[in-house]
């Protein structure tokens, strides 16, 4: 991949994940009693919309929500050029979602907060399981596969990319040629 294209891909990878994640929220389902209890709490429309968005973002206890999020995380982890950075970004995203979720819910009446606290903590546990199974495990498997391929190629005598230089004319190559194109001398290994 061309270096400038790779850099552009790296810059757009996490924003593309965020865009897809927030577009997929329309398919997420909330418990039926959540909306009824939130409307009876006496919060205004903006607070209600914010709490609903934060709840949709962090509510992975529903199997459908869990699977949608899992598929998105696996695809973006496997296509990432730097899976570790992507995993750290996802953990940061879920940290801020849960932080604001708890902050906004702390301003609700105490009986409503007690009702939603079980949903909140179970959602944190399910999100942690989701990140471990859909981010960390595929990244570890991908790293093992890449290591296995590199080791297999090394055992077969195939060198992966190593820039070489002709000792006679000092021409630089981004491959492993047998003969120098410039001076036609045999390259030394």
Q: pLDDT tens, 128-169?
A: 888 888 888 888 888 899 888 888 877 776 655 677 888 888
Q: Both tokens of residue 60?
A: 């992975």
CA distance 111 to 108: 8
How high is the mean pLDDT of the chain? 79
Confidence of residue 4 (pLDDT cuts 50, 70, 90): confident
Angle at 51 between CA 49 and CA 52, to 5 degrees: 65
- What is d(CA 28, CA 91) in angstroms, rounded to the nearest whole number? 20
């Amino acid at each position: 991949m061309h270096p400038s294209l790779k850099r552009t891909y790296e810059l757009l990878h996490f924003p593309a994940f965020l865009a897809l994640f927030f577009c997929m929220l329309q398919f997420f389902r909330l418990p039926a009693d959540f909306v009824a209890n939130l409307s009876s709490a006496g919060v205004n429309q903006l607070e209600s919309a914010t709490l609903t968005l934060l709840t949709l973002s962090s509510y992975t206890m529903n199997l459908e929500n869990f699977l949608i999020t899992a598929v998105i995380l696996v695809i973006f982890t496997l296509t990432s050029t730097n899976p570790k950075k992507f995993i750290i970004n996802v953990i940061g995203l879920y940290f801020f979602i849960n932080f604001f979720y708890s902050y906004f819910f702390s301003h609700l009446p105490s009986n409503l907060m007690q009702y939603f606290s079980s949903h909140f903590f179970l959602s944190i546990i399910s999100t942690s399981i989701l990140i471990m199974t859909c981010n960390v495990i595929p990244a570890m498997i991908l790293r093992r596969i890449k290591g296995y391929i590199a080791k297999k190629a090394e055992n077969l005598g195939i060198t992966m990319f190593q820039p070489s230089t002709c000792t006679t004319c000092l021409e630089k190559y981004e491959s492993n040629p047998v003969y120098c194109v410039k001076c036609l001398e045999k390259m030394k290994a």
